[in-house]
Amino acid sequence: MTTLRLTTAQAIIRFLKNQFVRRDNQEIHFFAGMLGIFGHGNVAGIGQALQENPDFPYILVRNEQSGVHLACGFTKMKNRYQTYACTSSIGPGATNMITGAALATINRLPVLLLPGDIFARRNVAPVLQQLESPASQDISVNDAFKPVSRYWDRIYRPEQLITALPEVMRVLTSPADTGAVTLALPQDVQTEAYDFPAELFDRRVWHIRRQSADRYLFGQAVAAIRASRKPLIVAGGGVLYSEADLLLARFVEQTGIPVGETQAGKGSLPYDHPQNMGAIGATGTLAANRLAHEADLVIGIGTRYSDFTTASKTAFQNPEVRFININVAEFDAYKHTAIPLTADARLTLEELTVALQGYQVSGDYQAQASALKTEWEEEVDRLFHLGHQPIPAQSEIIGAIWESAGPRDVLVSAAGSHPGDLHKLWRTHQPNTYHLEYGYSCMGYEIPGAMGVKMADPTREVYVFVGDGTYLMMPSEILTSIQEGVKLIIVVVDNHGFASIGGLSGSLGSGGFGTRFRQRSLQTGQLDGDLLPVDYAANARSLGAEAVSVARLADFQQALQAARKARRTTVVVVQADREERVPGYDSWWDVAVAEVSTMETVQQARAQYVEARKKEKYHLKG
């Protein structure tokens, strides 16, 4: 048997360089490179191996968490065909990646994490940054990755890679079970050599298959659709990952069934498609939510039915409502006592289109959906052009960005009030132009995630929509965008704090406590003094970006046009009225209110909360 004598780290890099994926007629190199920061836990191992492999790109990020975010943005834009590996030192470098790991796993995005670990030989313990346990020597902070990883392993001996690395690829390329994969690498083991079998490093292509639904269950689903009078499709992220958008359009044009889109599924249909009712759920449109309220059959495609999608189980009020779920993950296919079609979305839609020849919803139902869609589009136009003075409302800012952007450009956001407003108002022209991380809604994702989006397709302009509170959490990757020549247009909405949670706090009777960026008052002892003097544009310029601050909507529109012409990352800071909000539309979100309180506003909010909870339902009708 031919062998190659390599260190553990060298073997990992050589293996990653030779992994490919294939689906349909597309074949692609799975790993685009490595992201990370070197420290004493990986500099002599992974760092040295990367130095010997300049054809495997290494990108220096400014925070290990944002490195994982960048990888997530990249792989989502690539429909999970390609990703990055991420490396860190031991201790805080490793634990910085845990938030990113949770984000990847919740959103089912394949990312390989290679955190450095403490010495396997133990004789020099405790080493710098080591967490000691009096109960076991076989523990480190890297054990904290276990609950947020789809696959976790610690490599104590070089030869363990021979069995571990194929398992890594099995999970990363799974349509159903992918997410963060963690290989904890003790710093001494990274540098140890072994005679690896040469076959381990042969070029390997991992085929991503399309699974068909069970024939009996498929027949039940066809019968249920034919029997329904008011069916509604909930299009989730699985529609986009399966590249099923064209099949979805053909199916709904044939049947007339209207569609509501989740955050992850937005862009499954063009916004102006007659059957596209827009966003559904707690952040949904009046069109989609009113149809959901009456639906007698819900066809979920690639959705996990988060509480925002179901409006905390209040969206579907028809007592006779039933569910059909098309999902590659069996866990999600069975939700809501559904007819479970554990299958690929694109393949299943193709089969349903054939099986339902001759079926179409009634003319009255189509007319109802059409009227609601027209009413909703008029509402969006109104919110885009409020004429709010002296500073614009957030809906007008969104409208200005949309009017500036081209149909192929990408909008990226993740947290605060932005996802709710964007889900309702943003008008998508095509798939993968609306990039919202809302599985984890992680503050700080926006800028590094957008870098990943831009790197996945440099031909598109990428707009980052971020609040001032979120911006302050992770602006450092602006420097990385300058380093790598990755141009972004970053819009920072300055509303002096956490406006989203401030609004939520107000609705719960707590008056926005602790959500405004103000100095501590000497008179009250609370954070209700003068506004904090933050210059976001100056901060961005210090990191190498072009930057400008504006207050008037007309100036903002001009700044966006200038940003499109710029050749490097540009930050546009715009003032916004935090009290002028986009309404909710026949929706609700369950956030518990204190059951007892001395505050009358909280008591009133609790009474409303108790009444609203009565609409929550268990969906048990099979």
Q: In this predicted structure, what is the pLDDT of residue 86?
A: 98
Residue 165 has what pLDDT?
98
Residue 504, pLDDT > 90, answer: no
Yes or no: say if 252 and 271 are a contact pair by the CB < 8 Å rule.
Answer: no
Helices (H), ranges, 28-113: 46-51, 64-77, 92-95, 98-106
Q: Is 87 helix (H, G, I), strand (E, B) or coil?
A: strand
Same fold, 215-375 and 385-496+532-575: yes
Q: What is the pLDDT of residues 351-398, one digit of tens each?
A: 999 999 999 999 999 999 999 999 999 999 999 999 999 999 999 999
507: pLDDT strictly greater than 90? no
More confident residue, 307 or 514: 307
- The owner of tokens 């546009």 is 572
pLDDT at residue 509 in the model: 84
Query: Cα angle at 107 between 105 and 110, to 5 degrees?
Result: 60
Tokens standing for residue 485: 């020549």
Q: Using alpha carbons only, what angle is made at residue 61 by residues 58 and 62, rounded to the nearest 5 degrees?
A: 155
- Mean pLDDT within 208-226: 97
Please state, in angstroms and as integers, the Cα–Cα distance from residue 231 to each residue in 238, 240, 337, 537, following that order.
Answer: 19, 21, 16, 49
The dihedrals phi and psi of 340, each to the nearest 5 degrees, come to -90, 115
The architecture of the domain spanning 3-207 is 3-Layer(aba) Sandwich (3.40)
Angle at 549 between CA 548 and CA 553, to 5 degrees: 115
Q: Residue 32 in contact with residue 458, Cβ under 8 Å?
A: no
Q: How far apart are CA 495 and CA 279, in angstroms?
A: 25
Question: Measured between alpha carbons, how far is 273 from 563 in angstroms, rounded to an integer?
Answer: 30
Q: Band the pLDDT of 622: cuts 50, 70, 90.
A: confident
| Helix 394-404 × helix 553-565 angle, to 10° | 30
- Phi, psi for residue 35 in degrees, rounded to 5: -115, 145
Residue 89 C-beta-side C-alpha neighbours within 13 Å: 15
Q: Which of 351, 102, 377, 72 is nearest to 237 (CA)?
A: 72
CA distances from 67 to 162, 220, 446 (A): 27, 45, 12
DSSP run (H or E) holding 33: strand 31-36
Question: What is the model's pLDDT at position 156?
Answer: 97
Could you tell me whether strands 546-550 and 276-279 are parallel, antiparallel, or unpaired per DSSP bridges?
Answer: unpaired
- Over the stretch 441-453, which tens digit does the pLDDT of each residue have? 999 999 999 999 9
Secondary structure E strands in 296-396: 297-301, 322-327, 339-342
**186-216 confidence digits (pLDDT tens):** 999 999 999 999 999 999 999 999 999 999 9
Local structure of 227: helix, strand or coil: helix
| pLDDT, mean of residues 60-69 | 97
pLDDT-based confidence at residue 514 (cuts at 50, 70, 90): confident
Average pLDDT over residues 573-583: 92
Q: Is the pLDDT of residue 617 over 90?
A: yes
Most distant CA atoms of the chain, gap in Å: 80
Residue type, 149: S
**Domain 215-375 classified CATH 1.10.3720.10?**
no
Give me the residue spans of the domains in the chain: 3-207, 215-375, 385-496+532-575
- Residue 27 dihedral angles phi and psi, to the nearest 5°: -125, 135
What is the DSSP code (8-state) at residue 497? B
pLDDT of the residue at 60: 98
**254 contact partners, CB below 8 Å, separation of at least 6:** 353, 356, 357, 360
- End-to-end CA, the chain: 57
SS3 381: helix
Task: Supply the mean pLDDT for the chain.
Answer: 96
pLDDT tens digit sequence for 232-267: 999 999 999 999 999 999 999 999 999 999 999 999
State the architecture of 385-496+532-575 in CATH terms.
Answer: 3-Layer(aba) Sandwich (3.40)
**Tell me, what DSSP letter sits at residue 257?**
-
Residues in the chain, total: 622
| C-beta separation of 62 from 120 below 8 A | no
Characterize the bridge pairing of strands 570-575 and 489-494.
Answer: parallel
Number of C-beta neighbours around residue 286 at 10 A:
20
Residue 499 has pLDDT above 90, yes or no: no
Contact of 36 with 63, CB cutoff 8 Å: no
Kindly report whether the peptide bond that precedes residue 110 is cis, defined as omega within 30 degrees of 0: no
Distances (CA, A) of 491 to 233, 401, 466: 33, 9, 6
Q: How far apart are CA 276 and CA 271, in angstroms?
A: 6
